[in-house]
Amino acid sequence: MFHKRKAGILMPVYALPSPGGIGTLGRAAYQWIDFLRDARIGVWQMLPVGPTGFGNSPYQSCSAFAGNEYLIDLDMLANEGLLKAEEYEHLDFGRDPRRVDYGKLYEKRLSALRLAFGRFRPERYADYEVFAADGEMRDYALFCVLKERFSMRCWADWPEPYRDRDEGALARFYAEHRDAVDFRLFLQFVFFSQYRLLKLYAKEAGVELFGDMPLYVSYDSVDVWKRRSAFLLNKDGTPTAVAGVPPDAFSADGQLWGNPLLDWDAMRADGYAWWKERIARAFRLYDILRIDHFRGFDRYYAVPYGENSAKRGTWRQGPGAAFFDGLKEYSIVAEDLGIIDEGVWQLLAETGYPGMKVLSFAFDGNPDNPYLPSRFGENAAVYTGTHDNPPVKAWLMGQSREERSRLTAILKRECRALSLPMRAETPDSLTDKLIEVAFASRAALAVIPYCDLLKLGEEGRINAPSTLSDRNWSYRCLKSDFTGALQRRLSSLAMRFGRG
C-alpha cells in the first residue's frame, strides 16, 4: 500500500498545546504540521475526531459522520469577525495546562460558540447552503437538540413519535426549535471548514493525515436512531446482542463493549451503502485510515443483551473480503490486534492491507512472536505502543527484574539483526532504543505515540481500557515539549533509515 518508507507520530488533536483548554484545529495544529515537516516526519496520525460524550472516548461517538465541536478554534472565528477575543479569553476552560477539563468545556465553550453563531450570516458563505442540505448533518443537528430537549436521555427513551422518527413530529419539532438546530449545523460547518483548511496546509507541507475509524457505533447515536434496520435490534429498539471480546489470559470476564451489532445481511442487501459512504467521507478528512477491530469483518463476537460479562458470547460470521470490493483505491491500515486466527490472516491476505505490529507486545520470550521485527515484513505499520497501552516508559518501569532481563536479551538479538548497537538499560534509554528499532524495521510505516516520543510515564497514558477516569483522553502537551533537539533527532532517524 505504501510506495515509500514513512514515519509518523500519533498525536490526538485534543492533546495539542492550543489555548482554551483543549487542542484545536487552529494555530497549534499548523505549528505541529510545521514541526513534523521540519523533522522529516511525513504522517500525522490522529484519534477519531467525532463528537464525544460520557467518558469522553472518541471511540464511543454519537455520530459516525459529525465532527467534534470542542476542536473548533475560537481564534480563527475571531479572525473572521464572528467573535471578539475579550468574549472568550477570560473564560475558565480548565486550570491544568496538562489536562483537558471536559466539564469546563461543556459549561463554557458552547456559550462562546453561540456568540459566534449570532454573528454568522449564511449568505456570506458560498458553500453553506449545500452543507446545510446534507442529510447526515441535518439529522445530527436535530438529534443533538432532541437530546437536549429530553434531558440528554437516550433516543430509545424519547416519546414515541420522536423515538420512531415520525416525519410530522420531527417537522414540527424543527419548526419550533429551528434556531437551536441551525446552531448545531453552524458548528458542523465551522468544524469541517477549519479542518479543510488544515488538510490543505498539511498537503502543502507534505504531511499526510492518518485517521482512525471504529468498527462499531454507540447505541445512543444518530446512526442507530436513524438506521435501526442496519443494526441487530428487537422491535422495541433494544439490541438482540452487543459487541465485545471473549475472556482471555488478561481478562477472566472478557470485554463487554455494549455497542449494537451491525446487521451485515441487511447491509449486504444495499451494497453496504452506509459503510461505503462512511469510508468515502473519512477520506475527505484523511489520506490514510486505520479501521479499528478489523477482525470483526471476518468474525465478530456477539454477547446476548443484558449479560454482565462477555463470557456467554458466540462468534458469528462477518461480511468477509467481499465487503472491500470497490475500496481498493483507499489507503487502509487494519487494526489486527487481539484474538487473531487463520480467518483474519486470510482476510488480510485477500485485501492486501497492512496490519499493525506493536513492539511492546514482542517480548514474551516466544521466538515466533509476530511482533518481533525479525518476524514481520514491509507490509506493516509498526508502533512502539498504542493508545490503549501504557507508555513504553511506564511499561518498562513496571517490569520485574526477570522481565527486564528477558526484554534486554531479546532486544539485543533484534538489534543485531538490524545492525543496530545495543547499550540501552534504563527505561529512558530503552524507550529511545525501541523508537530506533521501529524506524529501522522493515515495516513500511513506523508510528511513535507522542507519549513515547516524549518518554512520558503513566501520566502520559492516553487511555486505560475498561475504566472511567478523567485521566483518559485528557493528557495535553505543551509547546515547550517539542524542542529543536527533538526535531533534529527525528530528522536524523528519518534520514538514517530512509523514511519520510
Q: Which of 127, 148, 388, 459 is catalytic?
A: 388
CA distance 136 to 191: 15
Please say if 388 is a catalytic residue.
Answer: yes
Instruction: Give SS3 for 168.
Output: helix
Considering the candidates 80, 87, 292, 307, report the single residue annotated as catalytic.
292
Grid cell 513515547 — which residue? 452
| 452 part of the active site | no
Burial of 498 (0-12, 13-18, 19+ CB in 10 A): exposed
Buried b (16+ CB within 10 A) or exposed e, 130-145: ebbebebbbbbbbbbb
Is 335 designated active site?
A: yes
* Residue 63 · residue 478 · CB < 8 Å: no
C-alpha cell at position 226: 436513524
Q: Which of 69, 335, 436, 452 is the catalytic position?
A: 335
Cα 1 from chain centroid? Answer: 21
DSSP string, 298-345: TEEEEEETT-SSSTT-EEEE--GGGGGTT-TTS-EEE---SS--HHHH
Strands (E), 157-298: 208-213, 241-245, 255-260, 288-291
Which residues form the catalytic set? 292, 335, 388
